[in-house]
Amino acid sequence: MIDINEIYFVTSNDHKIEEANRILSQFGIKLKKSNIKKIEIQSNSLEKIVKYSLLYAIKKLNNEIIVEDSGLFIEKLNGFPGPFSSYVYKKLGCNGILKLMKEISDRRALFKCVVGYCSPNIKPVIFHGICYGNISYEIRGSHGFGFDPIFIPDNSNGLTFSELSPEEKDKFSHRGIAFRKFGLWYINNIAKP
């Protein structure tokens, strides 16, 4: 029987927990939701946001913890909505982004994910994942969450994240890349044998 390593995930987003656990199951890692408050600072840098959240959370929770932050960065909108993607999604939705992108033909964008880990004994370690793609011209698909229905990752034959099955999305998504990097590092450096 394989031991499961359980780690606290400081987040209020159940979609993220589901996605991360789907990706991390192959490494024998299970994330469980932490109910401590996540503090996020305002910054252009996902890394700075994650590091601050980790250092804040580790003071409250004397345990292994994971913090994740991600954002959609649109080239012709100067990187908007970036680290504020979740807020912008709640306020404007996918339609707000499509409105801002009206009459803009260069639709390049990227999704970036930063995963941070620390424990009472281990200083923050950071893992990155980037997925390049384009903003679609309309909302398409039903899987995923947030801006998934308007993001077409490269090499998806023109399908949005929301038109891919969850497992297909994980293969090249920013979150898939970052959490797999973390999983590999964790089983090689931390996991109990």
Exposed/middle/buried for 90, CB within 10 Å: 0-12, 13-18, 19+? exposed
Contact pattern from residue 128 through residue 167 relative to a second copy, giving x for each residue in contact according to CB under 8 A and a dash for the rest: ----------------------------------------
Q: Which helix (H) or strand (E) holds 166?
A: helix 166-172
Of 28, 55, 79, 139, which one interacts with a second copy (CB under 8 A)?
79
Q: By the 8 A CB rule, do 43 and 49 touch?
A: yes
Q: Of the listed pieces 9-17, 37-45, 145-153, 157-165, which binds a second copy according to CB under 8 A?
A: 37-45
By beta-carbon proximity to a second copy, the closer residue of 80 and 145 is 80
Burial environment of residue 187 by CB neighbours within 10 A (0 to 12, 13 to 18, 19 or more): middle
Pick from 78, 105, 157, 188: which binds a second copy (CB under 8 A)?
78
48-to-7, 27, 68 alpha-carbon distances in Å: 21, 27, 11
Binds a second copy by CB under 8 A, chosen from 21, 47, 75, 84: 84
Q: Is 40 in the site for a second copy (CB under 8 A)?
A: yes
Q: In the complex, what is the shortest distance from the CB of residue 78 to a second copy, in angstroms, rounded to a whole number?
A: 5
Q: Given the DSSP bridges, would you call strands 29-33 and 5-9 parallel, antiparallel or unpaired?
A: parallel
Binding segment toward a second copy, per CB under 8 A, in 11-19, 26-34, 88-96, 151-159? 88-96
- # residues contacting a second copy (CB under 8 A): 22
Neighbouring C-beta atoms of residue 44, cutoff 10 Å = 11
Q: What is the DSSP letter of 82?
A: E
Q: Which residues bind a second copy (CB under 8 A)?
A: 39-42, 44, 52, 77-82, 84, 87-88, 90-92, 96, 99-100, 102
